[in-house]
Structure 1
């Protein structure tokens, strides 16, 4: 069968609709002849599912490279893991694997295809068609949100590239323009389209997933009132089990949701059936080796356990948080970290020691958004709006679960103090979830935090380099200034 290939954007790479199976056991898009795609409800389902397969390919490594390794959470692990160490030590060059945006633009192109063709597909239930379309808009928004946070200005494509032409070469579009003219409008469209009565899936975008991305974007743009209002909406979404997303008050259940709920979940063809016991998870990246072979295992065990090939350990700076007076006795510590072979290993996703054989059979999902993340974002938003007591009420829920005491508003002398306090709580609560680096950039604190650790001090160092191959292939691209002209 003929495979559809695209040459997309700045990378000038062939973007085939890849043959990796999606997580819902739908026939891969690449196995469908070009002339027959996007005709039926089954095509729509397969085409949208492929977006999630490409998200898995994009974030399998970059979840950690982009969101965790540049932060003060981690230090280099084994000496053989040089790629990760360069990112952690702020020694990146333009040939880093994490500087490639190829699969991310494949995802964007697949979303653009769905946005173009799904509206024209006749389906028995228009709500299902709208739901697929809403997921495509939300996933395009999420992909561009990652892109601008990682590289700043990036090439913009809002129409699918279906054949090679010179139009694939584009200059970089201002990141603020992408935020205001693509990401936020896409999320607002998704909000109107997602099926709130049937889509209760955490491996793909639900209405709460749309709101989670939207709240994150509003925080990034300083629209704190909108972020606060958006997070509030999540409490009104119910499934047959009650609220769809909710706070988990038990520390034991908190531990179990990472070590059991994320591990080796089956694929799911029925979005109306929620197979998760916890309501904490809003959206996650799913891994399943039965569906996609060796590409279906995640790096959650391999990169964080065993002295021989672990990519990173928890840093001294992170561990010192637990020595602060108000953090002593934090119940999360023993569930999060273990001193093993001269390194403080991230054990948040492991119930015990992990053998070498399990390292490459790991099917632990990656949380992109969960409800406690949203509550702490909301606390920050309210603090910035001058609602300090309301902010601390939200933080108290999280600290109560951790066995800690929460101060009152009278204990803080300034907004900056309370914001730092909330950010520290986010750091401990969300370690290993790809959030800390983005928090540092979003709040403008990356220099003050990272300069003493790895020398970050120059404007422009907060973004990644663009891979040199993209710059060579597209003469209209200009490298991020910190990394020179290569």
Structure 2
């Protein structure tokens, strides 16, 4: 299956220098910024280089999943690499631990640097069609906002860098509230110039719907419910209501039906190159997630799912009395064969009776092991998430009765009873509806990198009582310190090298 991978390898070799010493010479084989940024093709390659950051190991190729999935109560690490496992159970000793912290910070700001390069230089390039220029600038704003969004979720108070960086720069740290303001600004400006859809040969670039989705996420993390409803209105009932749930739930997690009607924004992965995650010409454009999250025997098993997820699926059967089919495609667990007749369990995997693994994005439908070159696209936002967010926002705004229908759309796809039928005890009670919605989001979205931001938005990490409840299903939260572990420490090397950057005081 041929895939569209947005990347411009030639651009990646550009050397950006800020040399003050005349003895520092540029390589005659490398371009400098003074030589570059002249043509439309330069601009296009520049914006494409931002997409290439999706394939770096600090972010969406590998390590960010340890932060978003395994640090949450959905997952954990039992890796023999103790320090790696410790960073999913809040035992942060070495703030400079590369795989747990530094490389994600580095690649996040590297992506932001590439965005800033485009935003600083492309406006000065003459284009035959000014609309093409606007689209390039708008993509850079969206991608800068996306990277700052996850940085705000993970670290909160961080440097806000809006110009191309120089080696001597000492960027100032900003409160997370200022980071959110900049994210909102970038997204609102990007919305004006991005199209409602892209032609098929440009699949993978953000459109207006992707912008509104990240605006909704941004507003919701700040509990700006009215603004969030406005963004979600566009996707659900307004001009951008072009999405629908695909009939087959699993089609969201294989390479068979990618970029479908349910996809709002997804990362385009491929297996056509077998290199590393560096800047080489043969650098991979693949996901490593399944290699690290696969069961023992077919992968590294450095990341696992908490078994309470299996039990959550089994609390309620479908209309015909069978198990919720989402369980089959969400998790590997010992009774997979007995529950669904799924013979993938017969393969040479190593199990314990109380263990489970994330299944979404695995390639068990075409092979019996995993590697570093998984080509399955990662659906960063899909319409089912949007519908459940819409229900959450309506409930927060006092429209609980109206919110039911959007949860029911998600439940109906997998043949579950309407929410009011299955759980009549909820009624129009805000708190009961929210508690049930927390479960609905787990059943639909487990292992899709949204749970950590959910826990933060709901305030479940803010009190000892709520953390104690989480610890009942995830013992790692016995290590969680309220007022501290809701955000990660900043890499200490950056703090030491920048007098304008302070370590979070709780660390």
| Higher normalized helix content (fraction of residues) | 1
Structure 2 unaligned segments of length 5 or more: list them. 15-29, 278-283, 335-350
| Worse-superposed segment, 185-194 or 448-457 | 448-457
Matches within 5 A, 1:223-242: 223-234=224-235
> Which one has the largest radius of gyration?
2
Q: Report which structure shows greater RCO (CA 8 Å, sep ≥6).
A: 1
> Offset of 1:47 from its aligned partner?
0.6
1:117 maps to what in 2?
121
Query: Is the CA contact (8 Å cut-off) linking 1:55 and 1:104 kept in structure 2?
Result: no
Who is 2:190 aligned against?
A: 190
> Which residue of the partner structure matches residue 440 of structure 1?
455
Alignment of 1:249-268 (within 5 A): 250=247, 253-261=248-256
TM-score, normalisation: structure 1: 0.83
Q: Where do residues 146-161 of structure 1 align in structure 2 (5 Å cutoff)?
A: 146-161=150-165
1:376–1:190 distance in 2 versus 1, CA, 3 Å: same
CA shift, 1:355, in A, is 5.9
SS at 1:311 equivalent: coil
Q: 2:304 aligns with which of 310, 313, 331?
A: 313
Aligned to 1:271: none
Instruction: Give the distance between the partners of 2:435 and 2:153, measured in 1 at CA.
Output: 21
Tell me how far 1:307 sits from its aligned partner: 1.2
Tell me the matched-pair count: 438
Contact 2:292 2:303 in 1 (8 A): yes
**What corresponds to 1:411 in structure 2?**
425
Pick from 444, 447, 466 the counterpart of residue 429 of structure 1.
444
The RMSD of aligned alpha carbons is: 2.6
C-alpha deviation, 1:38, in angstroms: 1.5
Q: How much has 1:431 moved relative to structure 2?
A: 1.4
1:467 and 2:467 correspond:
no
User: Conserved in 1, the CA contact under 8 Å of 2:141 and 2:187?
Assistant: yes
Contact 2:8 / 2:48 at 8 angstroms: preserved in 1?
A: no
For the Cα contact (< 8 Å) 1:28–1:50, is it kept in 2?
yes
- Offset of 1:132 from its aligned partner? 0.8
Distance 1:279 1:82, change over 3 A: farther
User: 2:203 and 2:81 mapped to 1: Cα distance?
Assistant: 32
Greater Cα offset, 358-367 or 111-120: 358-367
Cα distance change of structure 1 residues 164 and 349 upon mapping to structure 2, 3 Å threshold:
closer
Question: Which of 274, 288, 302 is matched with 1:299 structurally?
Answer: 288
Encode CA deviations 1:424-478: one digit per residue, 9 max, x unaligned: 1112211121110110011111343434422224212110111222222223322
Give the deviation of 1:389 after TM superposition.
2.1
Q: Distance in 2 between matches of 1:106 and 1:387?
A: 42
Question: SS of the counterpart of 1:284?
Answer: strand
Matched, 1:87 2:87: yes
Task: Decide which moves more: 468-477 or 38-47.
Answer: 468-477
In the alignment, does 2:331 pair up with 1:349? no
Contact 2:330–2:447, Cα closer than 8 Å, also in 1: no
Kindly state the Cα deviation for residue 371 of structure 1 after the two structures are TM-superposed: 1.1
In 2, Cα distance between equivalents of 1:403 and 1:354: 27
Q: How does 1:57-136 map to 2 (within 5 A)?
A: 57=56, 58-77=59-78, 79-93=79-93, 94-96=95-97, 97-100=99-102, 101-136=105-140
Cα offset, 1:237, TM superposition: 5.9
- 2:157 counterpart SS class: coil
1:284 aligns with 2:266: yes
Gap runs ≥5 in structure 1: 1-20, 263-275
Residue 53 in 1 paired to residue 42 in 2? no
In structure 1, C-alpha distance between the alignment counterparts of 2:142 and 2:499, rounded to whole Å: 31
